[in-house]
Chain A
Amino acid sequence: MSRPVSYNLVQKPLEKDISVAPLPDGHQGEGFFATSLDSVIGLARKNSIWPLPFATSCCGIEFMATMGSHYDLARFGSERVGFSPRQCDLLMVMGTIAKKMGPVVRQVYLQMAEPRWVIAVGACASSGGIFDTYSVLQGIDQVVPVDVYVPGCPPRPEAIIDGVLRIQDLVGKESLRRRNSEHYKALLNSYGIQ
Chain B
Amino acid sequence: MKKNNRPFNMDERSKLVAYKVIAMMYFMTILSMQGVIMYKQFALGQSIHDFEGFAVIFLVNVLFLLAALLYFGAIPLRKLNLKSIALIYGLFVVLGLLFTFLKYNVFQKMGLSFIEIMDKIIIVVVLCSLILLFFAVFALLGKRKMNKELENKRYIIDFKLLSS
- Are A and B interaction partners? no
Which residues of B are interface residues toward A (Cβ below 8 A)? none
Which residues of A are interface residues toward B (Cβ below 8 A)? none
